[in-house]
Amino acid sequence: MSAPVPTAPLVLGIESSCDETGVGIVRGTELLANAVSSSMDEHVRFGGVIPEIASRAHLDAFVPTLRSALDTAGVTLEEVDALAVTSGPGLSGALMVGVAAAKALALATGKPLYAINHLVAHVGVGVLDGGDLPESLGALLVSGGHTEILKVDALASDVTLLGATIDDAAGEAYDKVARLLGLGYPGGPVIDRIAKEGNPKAIRFPRGLTMPKFTGTAENPGKHRYDFSFSGLKTAVARCVEQYRARGEEVPVADIAASFQEAVVDVVTSKAVLACREHGMSTLLLGGGVAANSRLRELLAARCASAGIALRVPRPGLCTDNGAMVAALAAQVVMAGGAPSGIGFAADSGQPVTAITL
């Protein structure tokens, strides 16, 4: 006879897919702790995340972050009902640190372990900030490594990828453009800030994959109807900067930043709303680190309102990578009767969204 499924399982989640070491603890849909240690400062001088540095930082930060989460939640490992860890997608070396730590804890405590999809966890975190997720849910995930549109029919068991970037992620494009403009790393926050001083209509930068030959029609959708491409936009910015410098003119950094940002958010929001309309999704959840971008939130809210789509945006601390989102999704899997992953799984840097757990 199997053990009864807890109605509000106490779950500890571990996140290490990139440069944040996160340990979160939830009880059902209640957030108890969300401890995060970032190694971003160690990557600044390189202008981007260095995988080896990130992996070593996870090794150093894991135990202190675990202790902090347990202390904040006021629980012990013995009280936890289940453990969860991001198994992918992400940086291979970074993922392996978190997975190895989670397996060690599972062996030491005898607790069931769930291997969780990082991208779907960005959706699952919504239950901690706004309550249960509705049916007919779409998700727009925008971060340094991912830009996707998802259709969520059942959070714990049925998620479909509708569209994704075919080259750079939006956050990656922000970092590269910030480097071109001499603004440093990370690029997202500084471009968002400087763009407020510029004219978003000063330069008409290209909107990738928006022509009919790529998008098709509602009746005959094109291959890239909901996909994104930001490499051409990045190149256009580079050429623009080069032209100003070749003429010996001062580069209008604020105008370029504002025009670049408008090109990104225009495409991202229009395609997300289009996907919701065509797939009957009445609610859209925005997640990922770039969800903190003020212009993205503003334009998406306006376009969702015009289309009659409800918009859910978790608070900023839950949009960036964290352990709470891993624990939140795992709790949903536990409550849905999902089987534990055991310790035989491996980290999967390319784990698809259809593999919610391994």
Distance CA 153, CA 160 (A): 8
pLDDT band at 145 (very low <50, low <70, confident <90, very high): confident
| Structure confidence at residue 75 (pLDDT) | 97
Q: Please give the share of the chain, as a percent, with pLDDT higher than 90.
A: 83
Neighbours of 6 (CB within 10 A): 15
Q: Chain centroid to CA 70: how far?
A: 25
| Model pTM score | 0.93
Distance CA 53, CA 57 (A): 6
Q: Tens of pLDDT along 259-268?
A: 999 999 999 9
Distance CA 173, CA 104 (A): 37
Q: Please give the share of the chain, as a percent, with pLDDT higher than 70.
A: 98
38 versus 298: which is more confidently predicted?
298
- For the record, the structure tokens of 119 come out as 């991208």
Q: Tens of pLDDT along 46-67?
A: 777 787 888 898 899 999 999 9
Task: With CA atoms as reference, report the closest residue to 24 among 327, 340, 341.
Answer: 327
Task: With CA atoms as reference, report the closest residue to 353 among 170, 172, 208, 141.
Answer: 141
Q: Tens of pLDDT along 15-34?
A: 999 888 999 999 999 999 99
User: Mean pLDDT of all residues in the chain?
Assistant: 94
| Structure confidence at residue 1 (pLDDT) | 39
| Structure confidence at residue 51 (pLDDT) | 75
40 versus 147: which is more confidently predicted?
147
Angle at 151 (CA atoms; ends 31, 297), nearest 5 degrees: 65
The conformational region for residue 306 under phi > 0 = left, psi -120 to 50 = alpha, else beta, is alpha
Asked whether residue 93 carries a pLDDT value surpassing 60, the answer given is yes
How much is the CA Rg of the chain, to the nearest whole Å? 21
Distance CA 37, CA 56 (A): 13
Asked whether residue 272 carries a pLDDT value surpassing 50, the answer given is yes
